A and B are shown apart, each in its own frame.
Chain A
Amino acid sequence: MTSNGLVASTRAEMLRLRKWPAVWVTVGSWLALSLMFGYAFNYVSYTSGSNGFSNEGTTKAMLLAEMMPANVPDVFVQGMPMFGGALMMVLGAIVAGNGYGWGTWKTVFTQGPSRHSVVGGSLIALTVFVIGILVVTMAFDLVCALAIAGVESQSVVWPSFGSVASSFGAGFLVLEMWTLAGFLLGTVARGPALSVGLGLVWALVIENLLRGVGVLLDPVESFTHVLPGTAAGSLIGAIVGVSDGGDGTPGVLDAISGTQATWTVAAYVVVLPLVAAWLVRRRDVT
């Protein structure tokens, strides 16, 4: 892997991702869902006075406080363990998987850069998109919170830099991990359909089921503690806090400590791309 090859691959991959409508649909879906569950539903129930599943058991004052600028760091990350991660996994899987069906990896591997450079370039480009998504989401959340504060004549209290930074860091780790998991799945399956399907079933169903079984069986519980969903949920849980009743935001957990969760997610962020690169390097391209 040379730096020239890596830079060339990153530039090429940035161009083709930027031009791909599927990427923008995925990014747009995350933004829409995040704003809907973070602000739209809460604001509607706040103004209409009705309680929905997303604000059950909270008073109007609490609802308003949740939508204020000071609470942006929490709102920013709360959707990530569930649909944020799932959407990013779809993004990673289509970026890696579609190239096999289209024959574009074959074309790219005959252009000059080594396979490691190509995979590295693709992952850097995806990481740039993940960071971009985080920045835009944070900006949208702030705009929504400021607008609501303005409309409801509330004084603006800005979130602390520390809380914004830790939310941003945790959000990056979680979304990056799921993106890389999707990329690895797309590489393993050499296609988008199977990888997206398996990935979503794993993230949304299997891990939940295993955590359920883990309540009864200790070895299963220990096993769930190293799984990506549990780690991501616990990392976000350590930031937003998890109520004892357990009826909080879906996917947000307190199964393991924040520190352990951070290290587990970070380990996935390191290991997943290495496995993907190793696999791409050693396999024949047919």
Chain B
Amino acid sequence: MNENVVNTSELTKRYGDRLAVDRVSMNVRRGEVYGFLGPNGAGKTTTLRMMLGLIRPTSGSATVLGQPAGGPAVTARIGALIEGPGFYPYMSGLDNLRVMTRYRGLPESAATAALVRVDLADRGADKFKSYSLGMKQRLGVASALMGEPELIILDEPTNGLDPAGMADMRALIVALAEGGQSVLLSSHLLDEVQEICDRVGVINQGRLLRESTVADLRGSAHITLTARPLDAALAVAMEAAGEDGCRLVGEQVELDLPESAAPGLVRDLVAAGIDVHSIGSSERSLEDVFFEMTTTHEMESLS
């Protein structure tokens, strides 16, 4: 199922001289957890607000669930938590959700069920203003889940949560996707995105730098080899990984091969009378890729 639930085309938002979102074209597929990744102020929330019709794009367009973003018929099929939970401080968590069930035309029992899902049932009768930041955040997520919307947009949902709360939230998001709901999640936490997202869009300074699967973004694992004599080692390495899969990095040879290929490679090297000084496998984390990408982008914009 590769049907897109979100399509944006050259989506742009300009505030005076500042370009908050710059020609962002992204796609979120049905049933996936899509990570929208970027540092604070990169334009994530502004893009999400445009998808929900909260703000109008300066140019470009967004299609959500097959219709132009922002229409009541579309918004009713989305559950959203955007830039912090906004609730009535004088009412209890449960009453706040009851108000939202009325807006959504749902039975009020949906409010109680949603509180249970985010583990807030025992504090549902307490006033919203007495909640901790993490509890407020969980209430925001509970509100977004009500009515089993087809698309759930969560803007930094783990903000303010303790480690256990973060783990619970991630498990909940994965469970939502397994149940067939699509989740668009913005985050500046790379571990979080790496752990739970199928695909990622990386945004910085308003521009979408890359959109792909987490695995593609990280690239394949590679083997780093130190051996003497170097030219003989390079010849063996080329036989194993092909000419394009081999690079000389300083005094080391880098091969685009998985870790499982290391024992065979060592045997070949030893059989050719080469001394193997060290061999290891390394895999880039999303963090490495992200910093590489955003730094390159910044350098380009400086020059």
Q: What residues of chain A have their CB less than 8 Å away from a CB belonging to chain B?
A: 2, 4-5, 8-9, 11-12, 15-16, 19-22, 102-114, 117-118, 284-286
Q: Could you tell me if A112 and B90 are in contact, using CB atoms closer than 8 angstroms?
A: no
A207 to B80, CA, bound (A): 45
Q: Could you tell me if A112 and B86 are in contact, using CB atoms closer than 8 angstroms?
A: no
B123 to chain A, nearest CB (A): 17
B76 interface residue, CB < 8 Å from A?
Answer: yes
B100 interface residue, CB < 8 Å from A?
Answer: yes
B107 to chain A, nearest CB (A): 12
- Enumerate chain B residues within 8 angstroms of A112, measured Cβ to Cβ: 72, 75-76, 103-105
B228 interface residue, CB < 8 Å from A?
Answer: no
Please tell me the size bucket of the interface on B. 20 to 34
A115 to B56, CA, bound (A): 14
**B180-200, CB under 8 A of A: which get 1 and which 0?**
000000000000000000000
- Among B49, B53, B85, B99, the most chain A Cβ lie within 10 Å of the Cβ of B99
A118 to B87, CA, bound (A): 16
B143 interface residue, CB < 8 Å from A?
Answer: yes
| Pairs A–B under 8 Å by Cβ, sample size 25 | A8-B104, A11-B102, A12-B100, A12-B103, A15-B95, A16-B88, A20-B90, A20-B91, A22-B90, A102-B87, A103-B85, A104-B87, A104-B88, A106-B83, A107-B87, A107-B143, A109-B52, A109-B75, A110-B52, A110-B82, A117-B72, A284-B49, A286-B49, A286-B54, A286-B55
- Enumerate chain B residues within 8 angstroms of A4, measured Cβ to Cβ: 105
17 further A-B pairs in the complex, CB-CB below 8 A; given A9-B103, A109-B54, A113-B72: A11-B102, A12-B100, A15-B99, A16-B91, A20-B90, A103-B83, A103-B85, A106-B54, A107-B87, A107-B100, A107-B143, A109-B53, A110-B75, A111-B103, A112-B75, A112-B103, A117-B72
B257 to chain A, nearest CB (A): 48
A225 to B151, CA, bound (A): 54
A110 to B103, CA, bound (A): 10
B73 to chain A, nearest CB (A): 8
Q: Could you tell me if B88 and A285 are in contact, using CB atoms closer than 8 angstroms?
A: no
- Enumerate chain B residues within 8 angstroms of A106, measured Cβ to Cβ: 54, 82-83, 86
- Among B49, B56, B87, B90, the most chain A Cβ lie within 10 Å of the Cβ of B90
Q: Could you tell me if B99 and A8 are in contact, using CB atoms closer than 8 angstroms?
A: no
B67 to chain A, nearest CB (A): 13
Q: Could you tell me if A111 and B55 are in contact, using CB atoms closer than 8 angstroms?
A: no
Of all chain B residues, the one with the shortest Cβ separation from A118 is: B103
Q: Could you tell me if A19 and B103 are in contact, using CB atoms closer than 8 angstroms?
A: no
Q: Could you tell me if A8 and B105 are in contact, using CB atoms closer than 8 angstroms?
A: yes
Q: Could you tell me if A20 and B88 are in contact, using CB atoms closer than 8 angstroms?
A: yes
- Given that A19-B95, A102-B88, A107-B85 are known contacts, is A8 also in contact with B54, CB under 8 Å in the complex? no
Of all chain B residues, the one with the shortest Cβ separation from A2 is: B72
A5 to B52, CA, bound (A): 17
Contact of A108 among B76, B83, B89, B103 (CB under 8 A): B103
B183 to chain A, nearest CB (A): 15
Q: Could you tell me if B75 and A111 are in contact, using CB atoms closer than 8 angstroms?
A: yes
- Enumerate chain B residues within 8 angstroms of A20, measured Cβ to Cβ: 88, 90-91
A105 to B84, CA, bound (A): 13
Of all chain A residues, the one with the shortest Cβ separation from B45 is: A286
B98 interface residue, CB < 8 Å from A?
Answer: yes
- Enumerate chain A residues within 8 angstroms of B84, measured Cβ to Cβ: 103
- Among A16, A103, A110, A118, the most chain B Cβ lie within 10 Å of the Cβ of A110
Q: Could you tell me if A19 and B90 are in contact, using CB atoms closer than 8 angstroms?
A: yes
Q: Could you tell me if B103 and A284 are in contact, using CB atoms closer than 8 angstroms?
A: no
A-B CB proximity, top 5 nearest: A103-B86, A112-B76, A12-B102, A111-B103, A284-B55
B81 to chain A, nearest CB (A): 9
B78 interface residue, CB < 8 Å from A?
Answer: yes
Q: Could you tell me if B89 and A102 are in contact, using CB atoms closer than 8 angstroms?
A: yes
Of all chain A residues, the one with the shortest Cβ separation from B74 is: A112
Q: Could you tell me if A19 and B54 are in contact, using CB atoms closer than 8 angstroms?
A: no
- Given that A112-B104, A117-B72 are known contacts, is A284 also in contact with B87, CB under 8 Å in the complex? no
Q: Could you tell me if A102 and B86 are in contact, using CB atoms closer than 8 angstroms?
A: yes
A5 to B76, CA, bound (A): 10
A111 to B86, CA, bound (A): 12
- Among B56, B82, B84, B103, the most chain A Cβ lie within 10 Å of the Cβ of B103
- Enumerate chain B residues within 8 angstroms of A9, measured Cβ to Cβ: 103
- Enumerate chain B residues within 8 angstroms of A117, measured Cβ to Cβ: 72
A97 to chain B, nearest CB (A): 13
A104 to B136, CA, bound (A): 13
- Enumerate chain A residues within 8 angstroms of B143, measured Cβ to Cβ: 107
- Enumerate chain A residues within 8 angstroms of B90, measured Cβ to Cβ: 19-22
Of all chain B residues, the one with the shortest Cβ separation from A1 is: B72
Contact of B72 among A21, A108, A114 (CB under 8 A): A114
